[in-house]
Amino acid sequence: MSDEEIEQSLKESKVNMLIAPFTTVFSDKSKVKSTTWGTASNRKLDIVLTLANNSVSYQHIPIPESVKKHKKDEQLAQEKYKLDHTGHRHDIRAIDISDDDKLLVTGSANQLKVWNIKTRSCIRTFDKIGTVLTAKFLPGGTLVVIGSKEGVLSLVDLASSSILHSIDDAHSGQRILSIEITPDGKSILTGSSDKSVRFWEIQVEKELVPGTEDRFVNKLQLNHTRTLELNDEVLCLKVSPDSKLLSVGLIDNTVKVFFYDTLKFFLSLYGHKLPILSIDISFDSRLIITSSADKNIRIWGLDFGDCHKSIFGHQDSIMCVKFVPNSKNFFSCSKDGMIKYWDGIKFENVQKLAAHQSEVWNMAISSTGEFLCSVSHDHSIRIWEETDDQVFIEEEREKEMDELYERELLESLEGDDITKRSENDENEDDVTRVTKQTMENLKAGEKLMEALDICFKEIEDAEQYQKDLKAFKLRKLAQQPIPPTKNSLLAALNIEPEVYVLDVLKKIKASQLEDALLVLPFSYTVKLLKFIGIWTNPDNINKNITSISLICRTLFFCIRSNSMEFISQKDETFVKDISKLKDQLRTYLKQTVSEVGFNVGGLKFLKNQWKMNHSFEFADAEAQSEFKGEGKSRKRMYTTLA
């Protein structure tokens, strides 16, 4: 069709529906994330908005009598309801619990909230106070000291819901990253990115009442007393419970420890590879724990500054670590969204607390250690309470392995776990070999351990019975010993203990054998060596001739993976058993080498005999005729002589 025909058809066509803009709904405070319709009628429209600042807005839109006469730029929407009273609008960075465990304070951008922990309700909200990075309760629970990103240090009174004193240039306009209250509650310490730690005291000052000349009122104020200058930005600080030491975490990856009274340098703790993000000191002032952006937790001694343990704690930067009051156990939280509970003596992960949907920025522990509060990038505040349920580390490890196995299985099904193998993988050293512990490997190791427990007891009981029987025959015992009762499982299968263990070992897949043996504790490895000695005994070696390669592979891997433990053993009986096992294997190997050599010699002889009787050469007819000088010649067949 030509352009003229198209224009003519449009003019003749009828429009059934015309869509035109009616009005625009605006959100003053934040971006709109999603919308849905509320109620609708001929004269009104309701729409629900969810905003990026963690709030919900219910908008009412009245419809004018004449829609055509309505100006599209005119705003008709009116906010009817709004859900924004509880919760923060932005990331929560600061958190602290009062000394009586009744109040909780949390701080975010331009907002500070005070919560009643028992009722889980917000009782105070302070707006337009800057981006709060740190906050601390003073003793008594009625005053809170906050430090902001803008470098403002403020003293807040919760009883009157007012800011008693605010210092705009507390750290020359630099952000205040940490606040610490001394154990006696008399001094306040602030650490900032201006490379200094400042000491403050609360003093009562008299202030003139406006409009009067001789009337004064008492007012609390923060007064600066002294300053500790440092070479790098201060990220965190902590005063020891005995008020003798001050520890400061710096951006240069070190922790500087000073004497609190004189501010003289005492120790430097270095070992982290990235900046220190959190510090805490144990209740007895003997241990200090640090966390860093390098995902590691380090426990140090405050006597000499020695590192007791370095733990790879999380999969991302560890934002905070806290000791449980009156305990060496501690909690840690990280950007990976996890909170972990650690045993500070055995340095083992006891429990994982996974509920946050994003980075966990900070946490606080109650004075009794009965509950824990954490804040996250998902704008949530979570309270974790201690229960009477017992936690078993073995069960926690099993859950972790189940989750790991399921995750690896999903990755393999999705094709994300495809590993390229080089041609030299077969010659790769066992030390550099990378293995994955899966549930199948662990279950194979557990079955082997169960078999060793059952059968080793049977062997010990049988040996003890033979000793007692021998002593009875020599009249060293007055009563004849009773034969031991055979295990019900072995009796049902009608099988000997060493045969049962070998059957369990055979059922383990060849690709999983080393991983299953690697799971065995050293005590079970010693039991397994006992059975290897029985299998390689000259009386039993012919019975297990088909499994000798499996037995040798198991033995060599156990010796190689537990070499240091074997070297440190000083028990003469253990050394004799190892020497006996070595002699048994060498005797069998010499016998095997002799038999193999004899068999190889016999095979060579048979090969030569076969060649003599079955190898022939066919000569060419023309070559034969030339050789004999005849015109005609027939083909001849010759036998090759060896």
Mind spelling out the 3-state secondary structure of 461-488? HHHHHHHHHHHHHCCCCCCCCCCCCCCH
DSSP at 90: S
pLDDT means per 10 residues in the chain (642 residues)? Answer: 69 64 73 79 78 80 66 69 76 90 90 88 86 90 90 89 87 89 90 91 78 74 90 92 92 92 91 91 92 91 89 90 91 91 87 86 90 89 85 74 71 50 43 52 80 85 83 76 82 84 86 81 83 78 73 84 75 75 80 84 88 68 53 47 44
Q: What is the pLDDT of residue 19?
A: 65
Instruction: Give the C-alpha separation, 135 to 339, whole Å.
Output: 21
* Threshold 0.85, pTM exceeds: no
Q: What is the pLDDT of residue 615?
A: 67
- H/E element, 406: helix 393-414
Q: What is the pLDDT of residue 320?
A: 92
**Residues 191/177, Cβ–Cβ less than 8 Å:** yes
Instruction: Give the C-alpha separation, 35 to 348, whole Å.
Output: 47
Q: Using the CB atoms, write b or e for 233-266: b if 16+ within 10 Å.
A: bbbbbbbbbeeebbbbbbbebbbbbbebeeeeeb
Instruction: Give the C-alpha separation, 369 to 510, whole Å.
Output: 49
Strand-by-strand arrangement of the 381-385 sheet? 360-365, 371-376, 381-385
Instruction: Give the C-alpha separation, 193 to 171, whole Å.
Output: 8
Nearest of 552, 554, 551 to residue 562 by alpha carbon:
554
Instruction: Give the C-alpha separation, 406 to 363, whole Å.
Output: 30
Sign of CA dihedral 585, 588, 592, 594: positive
- H/E element, 604: helix 572-614
Q: What is the pLDDT of residue 364?
A: 93
CATH 1.10.10.10 is right for the domain spanning 87-194+196-229: no
Helix, strand, or coil (residue 457): helix
User: HSE on the CB side for 467, CA within 13 Å?
Assistant: 6
Q: What is the pLDDT of residue 65?
A: 65
Q: What is the CA radius of gyration of the chain?
A: 41
Instruction: Give the C-alpha separation, 380 to 355, whole Å.
Output: 10
**Residues 164/155, Cβ–Cβ less than 8 Å:** yes
Q: What is the pLDDT of residue 212?
A: 74
**Residues 179/145, Cβ–Cβ less than 8 Å:** yes
- H/E element, 502: helix 497-507
φ, ψ for residue 279, nearest 5 deg: -140, 145
What is the distance of C-alpha 559 from the center of its chain? 31
Measured at the CA of 176, the angle between CA 172 and CA 177, to 5 degrees, comes to 145
Q: What is the pLDDT of residue 197?
A: 93
Instruction: Give the C-alpha separation, 534 to 265, whole Å.
Output: 64
Query: What amino acid occupies position 232?
Result: D
Instruction: State both tokens at 132.
Output: 């709060």
**Residues 322/281, Cβ–Cβ less than 8 Å:** no
CATH for the 230-388 domain, from 2.130.10.10, 3.40.50.1010, 1.10.760.10, 3.90.79.10:
2.130.10.10
- The CA distances from residue 248 to 239, 533, 607, in Å, are 9, 59, 84
Instruction: State both tokens at 373.
Output: 């509060």
Give the contacts of 471 (CB within 8 A, at least 6 positions apart). 477
- Partnered with residue 616 across adjacent β-strands are 639
Q: What is the pLDDT of residue 249?
A: 92
Nearest of 624, 641, 642 to residue 633 by alpha carbon:
624
Helix, strand, or coil (residue 422): coil
Q: What is the pLDDT of residue 425?
A: 44
Count the Cβ atoms, other than its own, within 10 Å of residue 568: 7
Q: What is the pLDDT of residue 584?
A: 79
Domain range annotation of the chain: 20-83, 87-194+196-229, 230-388, 436-544, 570-642
Instruction: State both tokens at 144.
Output: 């809170």
